[in-house]
Amino acid sequence: MKHHLPPLDTLKAFESAARHLSFTLAAEELCISKGAISYQIRRLEEVLQCSLFKRTVRQVYLTDAGQTLLHTTRKLFDELGDTLQRLHGENAQSGVSVAATTYVAARWLSSHISRFNELHNEISVLLQHSVNSAEFKLTDVDLAIRWGQCRKRPDRTHFAQLPMPLFPAISPKLLERIGVDAANHIDASQLHQEPLKGVPLLCEDRQQDMWQEWAMISSSSTHSELKNPRRTISDANVRVQAAVDGQGLILADDLMLNELDNGLLVAPFNETLTGYGYVFMSASQRILSDNAQILKTWLMGNIGSDSTIPASRPSRVSSG
C-alpha cells in the first residue's frame, strides 16, 4: 500500500526544531545549515497546508497543529529507533527476557539457566513473572513459558513444549484425618462417596475446569461430574503448600516430585490427564536479539533430552 507521507527529511527537521524550539539548535543537531532547516519546514507546511510554527524575532513557538505533529513524530521516531537498533544488532549483548511463573522458574527454569550459563556466562537472563496476568503480551518479552495444550508439532509461536501429565495428589495427613489409608490405591469413583466427596479440589483461577477434565478420562468412574467444592488459589507455589498443609487435593505434575519423594504428598490415583504441559513461546513478529536466539536454540535442543524429569515416575502410592 502506498503511503502519502511527506519527505522524511522534512519530518526530521521539524521534529528537531520543534523539540528544541530553535532552528539554530536543530541545524547543529542535524549538521546542516539554519537555512536548510527553514527550507525543510516550509516544504512540510506546504504539503500539510498549515502553519507549524509561530515565528518571532527571537523565538519560535509551536502552533496547535505543530504540537499535534510533534507528539506523533516523536512517538514514531522512538519506535523506529528501537526497531533499527534490533535490526542492526545493537542490543546483541543485552539480557534475554523470559516470562515464566515463579513455580516454573524455581522448579525447572533456574537449574536450566545455570546449565546454559556454564556455556554462555556472558548472557544474562531476566525473568518476568506476570506471564499469566491479563495484561501480559508475548511481544513484551523475548521468550515465554506458559501452561497450555501440547500440540502435535510446534509452530512459529510455540517453538517447543514439555508435556506434563496431571495426576491428583494429597497430603497423607489429610487422608489420615478423614480415615483413608494412604497406602491403598484410590479409585476416581471414590470422589463421589464419603469421605472423599467433601475434600476440596485446589484449582487455578481460570475458566477451564481441569479437575472435571481429569474425571472424564476415568473409565472406572460411574459418575462424571465432580461435586467436590473448588478452592481457587492462583499462585501455583501457594497451591502446592496448601496441599501439603492438608487443605485439599491438587492436580500435580512432575515438577512436584520433591514433595512426593519426601512424603509430603502422595498420589494414590492411577488416572492421569494428558495433552497439557509447558509451552515455550516467542512472538513470530518480534525480531530476537542474538542472545535471545542463542537461548531459544539451546532450549529447543535440551527440552527433549531433559535429564531433570525422570523417564518413569516412581510409584505414587505411599508404602506406609
Kindly state the percentage of the chain with pLDDT values over 70. Answer: 88
Neighbour-count burial for 233-270, b at 16+ CB within 10 Å, e otherwise? beebeebbebbbebbbbbbbbbbbbebbeeebbbbbbe
Would you place residue 313 in the very low, low, confident or very high pLDDT band (cuts 50, 70, 90)? very low
Residue 281 CA to residue 89 CA, distance in Å, equals 21
Residue 69 CA to residue 78 CA, distance in Å, equals 14
pLDDT in the model for residue 80 = 81
Residue 148 CA to residue 192 CA, distance in Å, equals 28
Would you state the cell numbers that stand for residue 247, as one nine-digit string?
487443605
CATH topology identical between 8-87 and 167-273: no
| 167-273 CATH pick, 3.40.30.160, 3.90.180.10, 3.30.750.24, 3.40.190.10 | 3.40.190.10
Q: List, for residues 205-261, the tens digit of each pLDDT value.
A: 777 889 998 988 765 545 578 889 999 998 999 999 999 999 999 999 999 999 999
Q: Which fold, 8-87? A: Arc Repressor Mutant, subunit A (1.10.10)
Residue 140 makes CB contacts below 8 A (sequence gap 6+) with: 97, 99, 128
Q: How many CA atoms lie within 13 A of 21 on its CB side?
A: 9
Residue 36 makes CB contacts below 8 A (sequence gap 6+) with: 13, 27
Q: In the predicted model, what is the mean pLDDT of residues 119-136? A: 85
**Which amino acid is residue 293, in one-letter code?**
Q
Closest by alpha carbon to 260, among 316, 206, 201? 316
Kindly state the percentage of the chain with pLDDT values over 90. Answer: 50
Residue 22 CA to residue 153 CA, distance in Å, equals 58
Residue 197 CA to residue 252 CA, distance in Å, equals 19
Residue 241 CA to residue 238 CA, distance in Å, equals 5
pLDDT in the model for residue 137 = 82
Residue 250 CA to residue 200 CA, distance in Å, equals 9
231 burial (CB, 10 Å; 0-12 / 13-18 / 19+) is middle
- Do residues 274 and 163 lie in contact, with contact meaning Cβ atoms separated by under 8 Å? yes
pLDDT in the model for residue 52 = 93
For helices 23-30 and 34-48, give the axis angle rounded to 10 degrees.
110
- Do residues 51 and 65 lie in contact, with contact meaning Cβ atoms separated by under 8 Å? yes
Query: Domain limits of the chain?
Result: 8-87, 96-165+277-302, 167-273
Task: Count other C-beta atoms under 10 Å from residue 39's C-beta.
Answer: 15
Task: Count other C-beta atoms under 10 Å from residue 220's C-beta.
Answer: 10
- Do residues 18 and 62 lie in contact, with contact meaning Cβ atoms separated by under 8 Å? yes
Range with the lowest mean pLDDT among 184-193, 289-298, 305-314? Answer: 305-314
The answer as to CATH 3.40.50.2000 being correct for domain 96-165+277-302 is no
